[in-house]
């Protein structure tokens, strides 16, 4: 029998559920919005976030934003250079930076902005530790980018990390599956939303 995941020390880490990553008009819309829409991941993630919240887990949303002056953005990859060149579309108050209504947040959820691919860059690990959080259930877009980077980072920081396999999506199905296969080895293991909810206690 699988071990229980204590809800009081667990957070759902909901990564980059933003207009820029999920909608056709978003910066990454051409790459991600079609696969995201056709996969049904938004609806599944919304249900999972609500159910985990009801079970007593914390829910934390991360947004990729670029403030005036670029904040902690480092243009050390082509990906980050492209974001830096289009940074007005990632301003905290820009339409593309907004979280989509379907997935949350709800009252009481934490929302944290950052300029790195990992949602755990910056102050968030300390804030989670202060709340007694030691286990992370990861949802978000895209599987092979922020989800994988964050899940690996969280594991290295000492968190028990479970990517929620049916609540993440990527622009390419093969990249999505390959990333999940790697994460199943590099983290505490992937779980479906139902498996995670069945173990929350």
Cβ-contact 96, 90 below 8 angstroms: yes
Neighbours of 142 (CB within 10 A): 24
135: which strand partners? 10, 160
Q: Is 174 exposed, middle or buried (0-12, 13-18, 19+ CB in 10 A)?
A: exposed
| Omega before residue 105 within 30° of 0, cis | yes
**Average pLDDT in the chain:** 97
Q: pLDDT, tens digit, for every residue of 124-171?
A: 999 999 999 999 999 999 999 999 999 999 999 999 999 999 999 999
The answer, yes or no, to whether the previous bond of 3 is cis (omega within 30 of 0) is: no
More confident residue, 2 or 47: 47
Residue ranges and CATH numbers for the domains of the chain are: 7-199 (3.40.50.850)
pLDDT digits (tens, 9 = 90+) for 22-44: 999 999 999 999 999 999 999 99
- pLDDT tens string 72-131: 999 999 999 999 999 999 999 999 999 999 999 999 999 999 999 999 999 999 999 999
CA distance 54 to 58: 9
Cα(103)–Cα(49) distance, integer angstroms: 7
* Residue 1 predicted with pLDDT over 80: no
């Amino acid at each position: 029998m699988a071990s229980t995941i204590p809800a009081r020390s667990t957070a759902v880490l909901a990564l980059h559920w933003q207009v820029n990553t999920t909608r056709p008009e978003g910066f990454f819309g051409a790459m991600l919005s079609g696969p995201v829409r056709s996969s049904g991941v938004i609806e599944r993630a919304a249900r999972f976030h609500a159910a985990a919240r009801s079970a007593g887990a914390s829910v934390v949303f991360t947004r990729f934003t670029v403030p005036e002056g670029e904040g902690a953005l480092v243009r050390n990859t082509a990906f980050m250079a492209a974001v830096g060149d289009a940074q007005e579309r990632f301003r905290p108050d820009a339409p593309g930076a907004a979280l989509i209504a379907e997935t949350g947040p709800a009252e009481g959820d934490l929302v944290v902005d950052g300029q790195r691919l990992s949602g755990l860059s910056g102050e968030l690990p300390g804030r989670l530790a202060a709340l007694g959080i030691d286990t992370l259930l990861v949802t978000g877009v895209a599987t092979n980018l922020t989800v994988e980077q964050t899940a690996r980072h969280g594991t290295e920081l000492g968190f028990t990390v479970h990517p929620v396999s049916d609540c993440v999506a990527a622009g390419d199905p093969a990249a999505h599956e390959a990333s999940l296969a790697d994460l199943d080895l590099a983290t505490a293991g992937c779980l479906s939303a139902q498996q995670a909810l069945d173990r929350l206690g």
